[in-house]
Amino acid sequence: MGGDTVKETGGFPSRHARERHARALGRAFKDAMSGADADEQDALDWLGTIDPSSHVGSRHHVVPRFLLDRWAVKGQVRTYSRLDGSFSPRSVSDLAVKDFYTFLNKAKVPDSSFETLLGRIESDAAAALGRLVSPFTNGDLSPEDIIHLAHLAAFQLVRTPRRRRELELHTEWYAKTIARGVVPDAQLRRLSIEPHQNDTLRTSMTAAQHLLPYLLCRPLCLIVLDRPRLLTGDEPVIVNTGPDDGTHHPDCFLTDAQVRAREAKERRKKQRLRRDVGRAVHFRPTRSSGVGVALEIVLPVSPRAALWWGPLLDAPFVGPVQRERLDEAESARFAELANDAISSQALDWVISSLDDSAFLRRSFPALEPVMRVCDGDNAAALAVNAVPVRFRPVRLRR
C-alpha cells in the first residue's frame, strides 16, 4: 500500500522505532507466558477429547467458510484465478483442498487435529463477529471476543497456501545452499526439492502463537462501507507496513565475487583476529509482511465490512470495539486500497459476489515470484527469485 493506510491514522513512527517497540512487546509477552503451565495443560486436555481422524480425507477450507459465505449467493461466488487468468462462478465448497491440514503422526497415521483446532477457532470467531455486525445488538464485545478475533487473524496469516509455498521455497534454498560446492550449480538448477507437508504445516501453525501478541495489542474497529465494494481471496489478511517496507541489508548489494574476496581477506588474518564475514542473506515475501511493525492490519469480513487493527499499543486492547461507517468517498478509497492488496497478494483465487459486474472488468497484476532472496547469482537464489513453475504447495504424501 506504499505510504497510504486504508484508514486515516495521521503520522506514524519510523520502521526502526516500530521494530524496537515490537521486540520489547514480544519479550514482555514471552516473559508473561513463561509460567503458563495451566494453559498448556488445558490445550493437552482438549487434544485428548478430539478424534484425530475425524477430518481425514475431507476438504479443508484455507479461508474459513463462514467468511466466504458472506460473499456467496446460494453458495456460489465469482472467482478470478491468477494462475489460469480466468473468471468463473464457483461453489464455496470447491475452494477447499483435500487434506490440506492433515499430517502424519508419530505412528505414520493421518491426523486431522489441526483442522479440528481451526474449526474451534473459527467457531469462536464467527460468534464474536456475528455479535459485532448484527443490527440487533449494540456491538459490544467482551475481552474474550476480542481475543477470538485476534486468534482468527493470527492463524489466517499462517494457514494459507501461499505461506506454505514460501516455506517450501525457503527449504529448497537451504538445501541447495548446503549442497553448493558439492553438487555442480548447473545440476542444482535442474533439481526441485520439496519438504514433506508435516514440516511446513508444523512450522506454519506454530507461528500463529508468536504473532498473537501483535494483534492483541492493537485497537480493533469494524469498518462499514456505504455499499458492497470489498473483495477477498486466498490470502485475505492485509498487513500494511508503510512506505519503508522491504528495507535491505548492505550485503544485499554485494556480488558473489565481492563476498568471496571479503572472505579471502579475512582468512589471511591471524586466527584470533578473524571475524565471521559471510553474506547476510535477506529473505522477504513479495506480499507485505511484518505483523509486529505494521501500521495497520485489515481483514475483509464481507463485501461491506472489514476488521481493522490499528497501530501497536503497549498492552492488550480490551475495548470498546468501535464501528466506523464511511461515506461514499471514504468507502471508495478504502475499497481501492484493500482490493489492490488482496489482488496482488493472492496466490491463486480472488472472489467477489456473483452480482458484482465491476469485478469482471477488473485488471489483475501479473504473476511474480512468491519470495525474493538477496544471495547472489546461484541455483539456491534462483529457486526463490524466479517465478515458480509450481505455485500450489505440495500435497500430503503418505
Per-residue pLDDT reduced to its tens digit, 203-217: 998 899 899 999 999
Contacts of 135 (CB under 8 A, 6+ apart): none
pLDDT for residue 246 is more than 60: no
**CA–CA distance, 171 with 31 (Å, rounded to integer):** 30
Per-residue confidence band for 5, with pLDDT thresholds at 50, 70 and 90: low
How many Cβ atoms from other residues are within 10 Å of residue 24's Cβ? 11
What is the pLDDT at residue 12? Answer: 79
How many Cβ atoms from other residues are within 10 Å of residue 211's Cβ? 20
Contacts of 262 (CB under 8 A, 6+ apart): 254, 277
pLDDT for residue 237 is more than 90: yes
9-39 pLDDT, tens digit each: 557 788 889 989 999 998 888 877 765 555 5
132-162 pLDDT, tens digit each: 998 777 768 999 999 999 999 999 999 999 9
**CA–CA distance, 79 with 89 (Å, rounded to integer):** 6
Q: At 80, is the secondary structure helix, strand, or coil?
A: strand
What is the pLDDT at residue 320? Answer: 92
Q: At 349, is the secondary structure helix, strand, or coil?
A: strand
Q: Spell out where 67-139 has E strands.
A: 76-81, 86-91, 96-98, 103-104, 110-111
Buried b (16+ CB within 10 A) or exposed e, 82-118: beeeeeeebebeebbbebbbbbeeeeeebbbbbbbbb
Q: Residue 48, exposed/middle/buried by CB under 10 A (0-12, 13-18, 19+)?
A: exposed
Which one has a higher pLDDT value, 175 or 11? 175
Answer for the pair 310, 199: CB distance below 8 angstroms, yes or no.
Answer: no
Percent of the chain with pLDDT over 70: 92
The predicted model scores a pTM of 0.90
What is the pLDDT at residue 132? Answer: 93
Domain range summary for the chain, segments of one domain joined by +:
21-385
